[in-house]
A and B are shown apart, each in its own frame.
Chain A
Amino acid sequence: MSNEKQIEIFQRALDRERKARKQAEKILEEKSLELFTVTQQLKSTNSDLKELVRQKKSELKGVFENINDAFVLIDLSGDVLKMNDAAIEMFGYNHKEETVNLMKLLHPDDFEYTVEAFKGLLKKGSYTKYRSRIISKNKTVKFVEVNSSLVYDKQGVAIAAQGIARDITQEIAIQELLEEQKKQFNIIFENSPIGISLSRQNEKGLLFVNKSLCKMLGYSVEEFQNKQVQDTTHPDDEEMSRLHREKLFRGDIDSFTLEKRYIKKNGEILWAKTIVTAVRGTKEEIKFQVATIEDIGKEKLAKEKLIASENRLATLILNLDSGVLLEDENRKLILANKKFCEFFNVTLPPEKIIGYDCSVATSNKKNLFEDPELFESRVNSIVSKREVFLADELKMKDGKILERDFIPIFNNENVYKGHLSTYRDVTLNKKYRESLEAQKQKYSNIIANINLGLVEVDINNKILLVNQTFVNMSGFSEKEMIGKNSKKFFSRKEEKTFIDKKKEDRKQGISDSYEFKFTNRWGQERYWLVSGAPNYDLKGNIIGSIGVLLDITDNKILEFQKESLLKKLRESNEELEEYAHIVSHDLKSPLRSISALTSWLKEDYENVLEKEGIVNLNLIEETVEKMENLINDILNYSSINNSLSVIENVSVCEVVNHIKSLIFIPNHVEVIVDEKLPVIKADKTRIQQLFQNLMGNAVNYIDKEKGIVEVSYVEEKEAYIFSIKDNGVGIPKEYHQKIFNIFQSLGNHKDSTGIGLSIVKKIVDMYDGDIWLESEQGIGTTFFIKLRK
């Protein structure tokens, strides 16, 4: 490379360097100038600031004097050196007028605290937020808050303290009030039955949660510090909850209410009504979220029940045995049920005919009815009248009879909103009613024509019903009796009281029969057999009574006649008995005379009279004796009457043995007596008559060479059966009954009067006993007597 070229290159490089230096110098110059300008600005700002500081200082001085807060300067013993107007007003003392020592104004309770605070002030040089009570000149206690600092001399020794005091009495009071309110709020918060929670936006966990919520969800307050309420949301409700929360965050809404489910800690589901409210700050941002959660498990359950009951009701209506039709005010069909469709031959199901025009339908269906035009015009007329029509009877062509209730519907403002028609098939009812009517007619006829009087009275004895027979019996007309008190028709006082008594019986539910004497309209006394019974209503309450009456006056008269006849009979019996006595007695004395005279005749004229005469006399004597026996027997018989005058202990054995000695017993006859014969209760004389007759007969009718008469007995539970057995002639079968009749004698025994067995029978009857016999002709007879113990 040539030198020239090299020089050229250097020249250019040098040139560039120079230009670069100048350029750099220029840049530096510019920077210097910039620096200078900035310095100048700084200087002026500095002096401005100095002036400002000076001004502020003097301003501050003025502020100190006129400061609203109290300013006090004290020496280290507490004496006030300086105080501003506010301080004078606060303390009530003026240091210019008297020596004021702040320590002396202190509330005694705050003394120690103040000493400690003052020590702190001396140590640190300042003390803030000193709070104590002072007592001002007018003895009021004030809370003051003091910020103080020490004042030093030039050598740095503390010589005084200055402080700004603020009266915070009211502040304290407000604070206390706030605390009180907070406490109250906490009580409400804690004891609210509704769960409440407070959370800060974008922070995990709850700031506050109350007991109710903890209890509802089963988590403790501590557990909720890491958990939001929404974390316990039921998975199925999460989406819904999230959408609402997002709206809240976006600011679309300020609060939302949800009915949703939570999962409790124990896994159970809680139905709750949740209200979440956003608390927004000044920039509309959400600061807090307040959630209130109300357990609606029960309400939910109730709601479900309501729905279920509505469903049931709907099903009920659908399946009701009445046809139901609901129309709106424009005659559009709102609701109909199955039965309605059935009645009106509607083939569509009830839900498919909703919205049909019912006026058209009426016209379409009118031919189902017997009188189509009447049906249609009637429907149109009652719809237009808007009144209640009940039990309208509609005859259908197929013979069915429907009953229709028409009920217009008005809302609360009394505006017509449509109507409800219900249809019932009353065909059967109607037939039933007709047959019931026929039955009733039948029984009415029976009652009217029965030969028994019938009367129905209510509980107050008012006559409700009488039949024709009763009218005939009483003589009063139906018109006269109905509605009247039955007592009115009784003329005698005892009738009335008797009826009152019966009325009471009926009220007790007693039914009975009784005879009743009634004086009829014409004053005739009539005897009625009354059968009375209480009458009940359907619920079983007594509403009166019914009496059935039979006129027994004729029977009654017959009865009276019978009684009087009996009386007469008794009297004539007595007379007869007396007569028998007298007759017997009177008859006996001539007999005795005959007997005596005959005996005398025999004695005196025995030699005169021939053998034949003696025989005749003997015959006379025998006949007289027989006559006497006959008379005695008659007397005995007639003296046995039904009066059981004497009842005593009778030893049958003794009686029988005594009889053995009384009666004549031939040598060929042996009488065997059971020595164990019992003692019975009876009249001794009668028992003797009884056995004497039977034993006498037994002995008398012996025809064998060796006669045996046996007296024995058998004991039964309630009776003794005595037997008298002989081996005599026996009694033919045909006489077994006859022999007990009076004057019946079989043989011609000299002593037989034919009365003996009648007496026996009469005595046995008297003791309510029984007598019968077993006999075989030629072998013997056994009489049995059964006497009750």
Chain B
Amino acid sequence: MKGIVFTEFLEMVEATFGLETVDYIINESNLKSEGVYTSVGTYDFIEMVNLITNLSSKVNIPVDTLIYEYGKYFFGVLIKSHPKIFDVYNSPIDLLSSVESHIHVHVRKIYPEAELPTFEILEQTKDSIQMLYKSERAMYMFAQALIEKTFEHYHDMAKVSLEKLNEKGTKVKFTIEKVYE
């Protein structure tokens, strides 16, 4: 997993719960990297799992909620570092439908070793899109946060519902419908 996910995560934890909580979850997680992360490096995903699990027990917030919140936070990082991407698309549905075919293609150019989830488009209309999320990481809550944030970015509203197609959540169907006020 890319280092930036770790560094930004720890920054969010530090900003939300304080440096002490950061120190605590690193110590508790017994990490191979010893908690040393750089955004350009690559680290084992299990470390992220440990960190989130320990954070969850420390602050007594469910893992899914934490991931969802981190997703929201991470969207801000993306806006800051790659603002141009959002200029390319006219609407959130446009952008979502291009994640697989356009955005991930560019990601792979920069990070050839990146292990990316796939978003298969099952159905698409002007006002709705149905996508199948597939990833061994099962970070569908992260994805949901990003989707919602995307709509927010374009000043649109949407109803995002998900359906887990297996228990682990490595296959999840997203149904996104634009909501008019």
Contacts and interface: CB of A to CB of B under 8 A. Distances in A.
Contacts of A19: 34, 36
B38 A9 contact: no
Contacts of A24: 38-41
Interface in B95-153: none
Interface string A453-471: 0000000000000000000
A167 B16 CA distance: 85
A730 to B, nearest CB: 158
Contacts of A9: 19-20, 23
A27 B38 contact: yes
A309 interface: no
Nearest to B14: A13
A23 B7 CA distance: 13
B35 interface: yes
Q: Which of B20, B34, B35, B36 has the most CB of A within 10 A?
A: B36
A23 B23 CA distance: 20
A632 B136 CA distance: 182
Given A23-B41, A24-B41, A27-B41, A13 B22 contact: yes
Contacts of A13: 19, 22-23
Interface residues of B, number: 14
Interface string A1-39: 100001001101100100111011001100000000000
A16 B41 contact: no
A329 to B, nearest CB: 78
B75 interface: no
B68 interface: no
B23 A27 contact: no
Chain B interface mostly helix, strand, loop or mixed?
loop
A6 B18 CA distance: 11
Contacts of A27: 38, 40-41
A13 B11 CA distance: 12
B37 interface: yes
A428 B181 CA distance: 117
Q: Kindly state the interface size class of chain A when it binds its partner.
A: 10 to 19
Contacts of A1: 20
Contacts of A23: 36, 38, 41
A196 to B, nearest CB: 48
Contacts of B35: 16
Nearest to B7: A20
Contacts of B20: 1, 6, 9
Nearest to B42: A27
A13 B35 CA distance: 9
A13 B13 CA distance: 13
A12 B41 contact: no
A27 B36 CA distance: 14
Contacts, number: 34
A23 B34 CA distance: 13
Contacts of A21: 38
Contacts of B38: 20-21, 23-24, 27
B36 A16 contact: yes
A20 B4 CA distance: 12
Contacts of A20: 7, 36-38
Interface string B12-36: 0000000110110010000000111
Contacts of B7: 20
Contacts of B40: 24, 27-28
Contacts of B36: 16, 19-20, 23
B13 to A, nearest CB: 12
A16 B34 CA distance: 8
B22 to A, nearest CB: 7
Nearest to B24: A9
Contacts of B39: 24
Nearest to A13: B19
Contact of A10 (B19, B26, B34, B41): B19
B19 to A, nearest CB: 6
Nearest to B35: A16
Contacts of B41: 23-24, 27
A16 B36 CA distance: 5
Contacts of B22: 13
Interface in A21-62: 21, 23-24, 27-28
B36 to A, nearest CB: 4
B181 to A, nearest CB: 45
A58 to B, nearest CB: 41
A9 B22 CA distance: 9
Interface in B29-61: 34-41
Q: Which of A10, A19, A20 has the most CB of B within 10 A?
A: A20
A769 B37 CA distance: 178
A12 B41 CA distance: 20
B23 to A, nearest CB: 4
A8 to B, nearest CB: 8
Contacts of A16: 26, 34-37
A368 to B, nearest CB: 91
A777 to B, nearest CB: 159
Contacts of B23: 9, 12-13
A21 to B, nearest CB: 8
A10 B23 CA distance: 9
B102 to A, nearest CB: 26
Nearest to B23: A9
A20 B33 CA distance: 10
A9 B37 CA distance: 17
B44 to A, nearest CB: 15
Interface in A85-124: none
A89 B41 CA distance: 71
A13 B25 CA distance: 12
Nearest to A16: B36
Q: Which of B7, B19, B35, B38 has the most CB of A within 10 A?
A: B38
A20 B23 CA distance: 15
A540 to B, nearest CB: 101
A27 B39 CA distance: 11
Nearest to A5: B20
A43 B107 CA distance: 29
A522 to B, nearest CB: 140
Contacts of B19: 9-10, 13
A702 to B, nearest CB: 164
A20 B11 CA distance: 14
Interface string A202-214: 0000000000000
29 contacts: A1-B20, A9-B19, A9-B20, A9-B23, A12-B23, A12-B26, A13-B23, A16-B26, A16-B34, A16-B35, A16-B36, A16-B37, A19-B34, A19-B36, A20-B7, A20-B36, A20-B37, A20-B38, A21-B38, A23-B36, A23-B41, A24-B38, A24-B39, A24-B40, A24-B41, A27-B38, A27-B40, A27-B41, A28-B40
Q: Which 3 A-B pairs have the closest CB atoms?
A: A24-B38, A19-B36, A9-B23
Given A16-B36, A21-B38, 11 more contacts: A1-B20, A9-B19, A10-B19, A12-B23, A12-B26, A19-B36, A20-B7, A23-B41, A24-B39, A24-B41, A27-B41
